[in-house]
Every structure is written in structure tokens, then in C-alpha cells.
Amino acid sequence: MTYDWIAFLTDYGRRDGFVAACHGVIAGIAPRVRVIDVTHDVPPQDVRHGAAVLAQTVPYLPPAVVVGVVDPGVGTHRRGVALRAGENVLIGPDNGLLSWAAEACGGTTAAVELTSPRFRLDTPATTFDGRDVFAPAAAHVAAGAHVSELGADVPVADLVRLPDPWVRVEPGTLEAEVHVVDHFGNVALAANADDLGSAGLAGAESVETTVGERRYRAPLGRSFAEVASGELVVLIDSSGHVSVAANQGDAAALLGVAPGDRLTLRSVPEGPGRHGAGPA
């Protein structure tokens, strides 16, 4: 099987030549393959953020070889792996980065460790596996190499997996950790629309958002523009997550939260109340 597409995510940024070098390796091995740059602006070494972005993105990609490189353990004994998941092959470090994306593709059905010297660059470097290991392996797979040729089998149960984000649902209350904060400062929770419904909040006019000792009341809406500029709104975002956003503002900064922090949404009595940046 060959692939027309390689999807590529890293924390390399664009100031240096790291991304271009990986593109060049892919082009040298599989010149007809096209590369989709998912993002190269994952915060440095933030495996969890990279995993969340990959998982949000892969359902909308064509069948592809998906390469993820957020790799604080590069040069150590951590494994480089290739996973079969649905119609896709996922390649990167075995540090949990690929785990949520594999689930979004239907689950990992086979895995190998990237040990074959035939499918890597022969360099003395130990700190640039994106160029020397992952990019060439992806290009060879896209050009028709079978995943089993890349190295020895790895039991799927032995792969590193990030823990599931924390969610708790009770009548009238939904508690969840912040799953990801995007470029706009929108705060996507680990909870989804079903969780909101199970908590009995789906039909609420507004909800109270609690962060530590601070409380904020916000309407439950469908778009950012349902509130005035700078005010908060709770909605289901484009990835299906319950999200706290600020119209033309930065909700994460207003709430003072980051990925991994916990928020609580509760039902509130109908009637006048404060919406926006300040405590309720």
C-alpha cells in the first residue's frame, strides 16, 4: 500500500531549519508524496498538547502516514515506533504523543519499533530523530514499504499511553480538566456534549463556571458572538469539546487556567446575573 499524504506535527517552530530538513528527507525518498503541516508550534516539549492537537486533526485527514515529533526523550532509550490505526500509520516517539490520535483513528492494531537501519539516515547525530528516523520511515512507508519491515513487533499493550483526561459528571454539575488551550485562548475541556447532557446542563440558559474560589456566570451558546466583546460564553467547539471562550478575547487569561487545571460547570437559577470576565 502507498500513501499520497504525510501529515506532520512537531514542536520545532519555524525560526530554524528543522522542519525544512525533514521535508527535504521526505522529498528525497518519496518525491510524489504531499505533506500536510498540521502545526510546528506545539509548545516545546509539551507532549500532551501535541497529542491533543493530533487527536483533534486526524479524523479530518485523508488516509495518511502521520508523523508526530514532540520528543523530550530524544537520544535516550525511549522507542521510536510505527503504529497501524485504521487506514493510517502513525510514526513518532513512544511517549504517549500518538496515543490519543491512534484512538481517534479506531485504535492501534499493530506496532513496531523503528530499528531497521534500511529506513533511517546514516548519521552520527542522536538529537534529531525527526530528520534521521521518523521522516525517512514515514517516507518509505508512504512509498510502499510495509510497516513490518521497519523493525520488531511491539505488543500494543506495551505502548506508552497518556492518561485519559479527568471528567466527573453529577446531576447539575460537570467537572473536567482543561484539555487544551488554543491559539485564541479558548479553553477546551475534556468533557463533550454527551457529558453536558448527562449533567443536565445541555438545555440551560446559562451556567456558573468555577475556577478555585472564583465563579463566573456565562450563557450556554452556539457561537462567540452571542455575547458582547470580552464576555464569556460556554459552547460546544468544532472538535466536540465543551469549551469556555471569550468573544474577541482570551478566556484562558481571563480565567487564569492552563491545560490540566480543573473547572466546574453548574446550573444556576434563571434571571439576571453577571456574564463576563469578573467573578459572579
**pLDDT tens sequence across 232-270:** 999 999 999 999 999 999 999 999 999 999 999 998 865
pLDDT of residue 203: 87
Q: What is 167-267's CATH number, 3.30.2350.10, 2.40.30.90, 3.30.420.40, 3.40.1390.10?
A: 2.40.30.90
pLDDT over 70 at 41, yes or no: yes
pLDDT over 60 at 82, yes or no: yes
- CATH 3.40.50.10790 maps onto the chain at 5-158
CB-based contacts of 205, cutoff 8 Å, min separation 6: 219, 220, 270
pLDDT over 50 at 144, yes or no: yes
Q: How far is CA 167 from CA 61, 100, 110, 247, 266, in A?
A: 28, 16, 29, 25, 14
- CATH 2.40.30.90 maps onto the chain at 167-267
The 10 Å Cβ neighbour count of residue 219 is 18
- With CA atoms as reference, report the closest residue to 96 among 163, 14, 185: 163
For 114-119, the CB contacts below 8 A with 24+ separation are 114/79, 114/80, 114/81, 114/82, 114/150, 114/151, 115/150, 115/151, 115/152, 116/149, 116/150, 116/151, 118/149, 119/145, 119/149, 119/150
The 10 Å Cβ neighbour count of residue 63 is 14
- With CA atoms as reference, report the closest residue to 143 among 7, 30, 25, 6: 30
* Phi/psi at 217 (5° precision): -100, 135
- pLDDT, tens digit, for every residue of 215-238? 999 999 999 999 999 999 999 999
Q: Provide the whole-model pTM.
A: 0.90
Q: What is the distance between the terminal CA atoms of the chain, rounded to a whole angstrom?
A: 57
pLDDT over 60 at 146, yes or no: yes
pLDDT of residue 268: 81
Q: What b/e sequence results for 20-59 when a residue is b if at least 16 CB atoms lie within 10 Å of its CB, and e otherwise?
A: ebbbebbeebbeebebeebebebeeebbbbbbbbbbbbbe
Q: Quick one: fold of 5-158? A: Rossmann fold (3.40.50)
The mean per-residue pLDDT over the stretch 164-169 comes to 94
Confidence of residue 279 (pLDDT cuts 50, 70, 90): low
Q: How far is CA 205 from CA 187, 200, 219, in A?
A: 20, 12, 6
Q: Which three cell numbers stand for residue 55?
A: 487527536
